[in-house]
């Protein structure tokens, strides 16, 4: 693994506020090229906001953000190498659109205004669908896909941008256990192909066996390290604010959180 | 029935009606998919203020309505975008105040004898040569803009966040969309009427939505239903001497209910429920 390359993401003392609510505070984070990291934390910890900062959708009130060495909002559409898989909750599933059409949208940015997708764009979209293993469903309306298949469509859409950095926001919400495993298998293959990946996840146990590092965030960065270090730490238990227990399944500690009734 | 096509006023109404049917159906697809129907209704009612101003200054009310609708649409967009209030609150504020302004102006004009009823509820006889050319010109311009920004409008309707991430001007595209809605309202008020145009903006597209899960097919069906409703409504309105706007809107509503009854979406939902019930029965 080539660690001498410039970091893909570099955040320095980044703070973000929505009106007078501080959502992220003094976050400093470096993500090296070709790494696969999980971002975990309780609800409202600022995980999605952190991704939005990296995407250039949200500007911090303090601190510097560099993605591939540049401020993300300064990167020209045709030079963007960032793929994003949003939470599917925000998507209208009744929208009359096919899997292929959704994936083709990944090409719109580099096409620019008023230009129609060309043959090369259609080929790239189809390749992305093949890569996530659902090319046979290309023509199917998204309303008639299962949760796992729909997630693959959105991953394919991110891949159609031909990204060097892939950001995923809870890609396994509403996906059953078997599909969750196969989704992470797919992410592992992409990682082995050299894509840098940052995935927001609630499946702390599953994600730990795939990623090479875990970042724990609760407005500030609480812990950052190897999965077994972070997931076994006192901070994590404190962060979830209730009794957290770990049991070990092979090498990987699993987190059990007791919820208040 | 054929001989009525010989009348010049009927030819004008049918030509304007066909374009209105097409444009309302196209813009309506985005309104239905993006949930903008209240904005459509708000802009439509705002046009009343513009029409009243036209009477006051003695110019073609369609032109003053054009300026007034654009100002209202952008006002709603700006207030909602700046995040001071929610979009539907912004519509609620503009909607009533622009209508109130119109009522005030009409009231101040002592002894007016204009056909206000025609503007409020639509009339075949009201379509002048000038109105027809405004409808044709603006209608074709709207169709051309939608064709030019087809992929952008699809993207901001489906996933505005991706538009922003891709570096496409998401905010400007939103303003383009509400501008198209305002222009569509303006060319429709003579035939359909201020109070009824919001229905024609939504109903054909909503009926088409019931019938298909494909975007282009939805737009094609919406156009078919929109043109069918305007032309059919105009002919019926002449035949039975009833208000054109009401006839057009009720005809499209009839199609909407039929479409809802034969909707594949609805049948699939039923099948799913049945299957779920069967599974529960087995596991029990």
Average pLDDT of chain A to the nearest whole number: 84
Give mean pLDDT, residues B141-149: 97
pLDDT at B112: 62
Helix or strand holding residue A127 (H, E): helix A119-131
Q: Taking chain B, what is the end-to-end CA distance rounded to the nearest angstrom? A: 64
The alpha carbon of residue A140 and the mean position of all alpha carbons in its chain are separated, in whole angstroms, by 25
- Whether B214 and A96 lie within 8 Å, measured CB to CB: yes
Q: Is the CB of residue A232 less than 8 Å away from at least one CB of chain B?
A: no
What are B214-231's pLDDT values in tens digits? Answer: 999 999 999 999 999 999
Q: Determine which of B34, B144, B158 to mutate to test the interface with A (most A C-beta atoms within 10 Å).
A: B158
Which residues, at least 6 apart from B178, have a Cβ–Cβ distance to it below 8 Å? B36, B39, B43, B73, B74, B76, B77
Which residues, at least 6 apart from B14, have a Cβ–Cβ distance to it below 8 Å? B5, B231, B234
A3 pLDDT higher than 70: no
Please tell me which residue of chain A has the smallest CA distance to B214.
Answer: A96
Q: What is the dihedral of CA A58, A59, A63, A66, to 10 degrees?
A: 70
pLDDT at B159: 93
pLDDT at A65: 95
Q: Is the CB of residue A17 less than 8 Å away from at least one CB of chain B?
A: no
User: What residues of A are in contact with residue B165 (Cβ under 8 Å)?
Assistant: 55-57, 80, 82, 84, 109
pLDDT at A249: 42
Model-level pTM?
Answer: 0.88
Per DSSP, A85 falls in state E
Residue ranges of chain B whose CB lies within 8 Å of a chain A CB: 33, 148-152, 154-155, 157-159, 161-169, 209, 212-215, 217-218, 265, 268
Q: What percentage of chain B carries pLDDT values higher than 90?
A: 57
- Whether A82 and B159 lie within 8 Å, measured CB to CB: no
Which range, of A217-231, B71-85, B163-177, averages the lowest pLDDT? A217-231
| Residue A240 pLDDT grade (very low, low, confident, very high; cuts 50, 70, 90) | low
A251 pLDDT higher than 60: no
Residue scoring higher pLDDT (B246 or A259): B246
A242 pLDDT higher than 70: no
Q: Are B159 and A91 in contact (CB under 8 A)?
A: yes
Long-range contacts (CB closer than 8 Å, 24 or more residues apart) made by B97-102: B98/B45, B98/B46, B98/B48, B98/B49, B98/B50, B98/B68, B98/B72, B99/B45, B99/B46, B99/B48, B99/B49, B101/B49, B101/B52, B102/B48, B102/B49, B102/B50, B102/B51, B102/B52, B102/B53
| Interfacial A residues in 109-128 facing B (CB < 8 Å) | 109-111, 113-114, 116-117
- Whether A77 and B168 lie within 8 Å, measured CB to CB: yes
Q: Taking chain A, what is the end-to-end CA distance rounded to the nearest angstrom? A: 46
pLDDT at A244: 44
B267 pLDDT higher than 80: no
Q: What is the spatial distance between Cα A197 and Cα A200, in angstroms, rounded to a whole number?
A: 10
Q: What is the spatial distance between Cα A227 and Cα B89, in angstroms, rounded to a whole number?
A: 47
Which residues, at least 6 apart from B269, have a Cβ–Cβ distance to it below 8 Å? none
- Whether B165 and A111 lie within 8 Å, measured CB to CB: no
Partnered with residue A84 across adjacent β-strands are A167
B84 pLDDT higher than 80: no
Phi (first) and psi of residue A57, to 5 degrees = -80, -30
Q: What percentage of chain A carries pLDDT values higher than 90?
A: 51
Please tell me which residue of chain B has the smallest CA distance to A52.
Answer: B165
Is the CA virtual torsion B191, B196, B199, B201 positive or negative?
Answer: positive
Give mean pLDDT, residues B250-268: 90
Closest-CA distance of chain A to residue B161, Å: 8
Average pLDDT of chain B to the nearest whole number: 89
Closest-CA distance of chain B to residue A257, Å: 31
User: What residues of B are in contact with residue A109 (Cβ under 8 Å)?
Assistant: 165-168
> Residue B36 burial (CB < 10 Å; 0-12/13-18/19+)?
buried
What are A201-214's pLDDT values in tens digits? Answer: 877 777 888 898 88
Q: Are A128 and A58 in contact (CB under 8 A)?
A: no
User: What residues of A are in contact with residue B214 (Cβ under 8 Å)?
Assistant: 96-98, 141
Q: Are B202 and B37 in contact (CB under 8 A)?
A: yes
What are A49-90's pLDDT values in tens digits? Answer: 999 999 999 999 999 999 999 998 888 877 788 999 998 877
Give mean pLDDT, residues A17-33: 91
- Whether B33 and A92 lie within 8 Å, measured CB to CB: yes
Please tell me which residue of chain B has the smallest CA distance to A19.
Answer: B83
Q: Are A68 and A8 in contact (CB under 8 A)?
A: yes
Q: What is the spatial distance between Cα B126 and Cα B119, in angstroms, rounded to a whole number?
A: 8
Q: Are A63 and A27 in contact (CB under 8 A)?
A: yes
Give mean pLDDT, residues A114-143: 94
A26 pLDDT higher than 70: yes
């Amino acid at each position: 693994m080539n660690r001498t390359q410039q970091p893909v993401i570099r955040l320095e003392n980044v703070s973000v506020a929505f009106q007078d609510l501080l959502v992220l505070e003094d976050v400093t984070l470096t993500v090296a090229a070709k790494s696969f990291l999980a971002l975990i934390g309780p609800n409202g910890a600022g995980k999605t906001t952190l991704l939005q900062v990296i995407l250039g959708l949200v500007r911090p009130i303090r601190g510097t953000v560099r993605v591939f060495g540049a401020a993300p909002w300064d990167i020209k559409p045709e030079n963007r190498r960032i793929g994003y898989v949003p939470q599917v909750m925000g998507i209208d599933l009744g929208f009359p659109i096919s899997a292929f059409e959704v994936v083709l949208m990944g090409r719109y940015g580099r096409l620019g205004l008023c230009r129609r997708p060309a043959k090369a764009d259609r080929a790239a979209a189809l390749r992305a669908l093949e890569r996530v293993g659902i090319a046979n469903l290309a023509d199917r309306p998204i309303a008639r896909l299962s949760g796992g298949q729909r997630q693959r469509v959105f991953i394919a859409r991110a891949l159609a941008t031909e990204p060097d950095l892939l950001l995923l926001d809870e890609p396994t919400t509403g996906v059953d256990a078997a599909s969750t495993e196969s989704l992470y298998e797919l992410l592992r293959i992409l990682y082995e192909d050299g894509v840098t990946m940052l995935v927001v996840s609630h499946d702390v146990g599953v994600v730990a066996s795939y990623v090479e590092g875990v970042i724990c965030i609760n407005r500030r960065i609480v812990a950052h390290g190897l999965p077994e270090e972070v997931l076994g730490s006192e901070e994590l238990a404190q962060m979830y604010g209730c009794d957290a227990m770990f049991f070990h399944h092979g090498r990987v500690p699993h987190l059990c959180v007791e919820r208040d009734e | 029935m054929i001989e009525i096509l010989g009348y010049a006023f009927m030819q004008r109404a049918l030509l304007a009606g066909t374009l209105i049917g097409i444009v309302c159906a196209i813009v309506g697809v985005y309104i239905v998919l993006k949930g903008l129907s209240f904005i459509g209704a708000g802009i439509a009612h705002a046009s009343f203020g513009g029409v009243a101003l036209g009477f006051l200054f003695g110019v073609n009310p369609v032109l003053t309505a054009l300026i007034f609708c654009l100002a209202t649409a952008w006002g709603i967009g700006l207030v909602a975008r700046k995040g001071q209030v929610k979009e539907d609150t912004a519509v609620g504020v503009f909607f009533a105040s622009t209508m109130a302004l119109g009522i005030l102006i009409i009231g101040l004009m002592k002894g007016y004898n204009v056909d206000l009823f025609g503007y409020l509820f639509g009339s075949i006889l009201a379509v002048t040569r000038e109105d027809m050319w405004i409808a044709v010109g603006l209608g074709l311009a709207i169709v051309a803009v939608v064709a030019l920004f087809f992929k952008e409008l699809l993207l901001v309707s489906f996933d505005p966040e991706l538009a922003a991430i891709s570096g496409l001007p998401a905010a400007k595209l939103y303003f383009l969309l509400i501008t198209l809605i305002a222009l569509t309202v303006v060319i429709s008020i003579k035939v359909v009427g201020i109070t009824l145009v919001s229905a024609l903006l939504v109903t054909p597209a909503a009926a088409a939505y019931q019938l298909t899960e494909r975007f282009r097919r939805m737009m094609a069906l919406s156009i078919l239903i929109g043109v069918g409703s305007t032309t059919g409504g105009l002919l019926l309105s002449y035949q039975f001497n009833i208000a054109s706007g009401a006839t057009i809107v009720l005809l499209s509503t009839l199609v909407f209910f039929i479409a809802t009854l034969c909707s594949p979406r609805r049948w699939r939902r039923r099948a799913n429920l049945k299957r779920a019930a069967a599974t529960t029965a087995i596991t029990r």
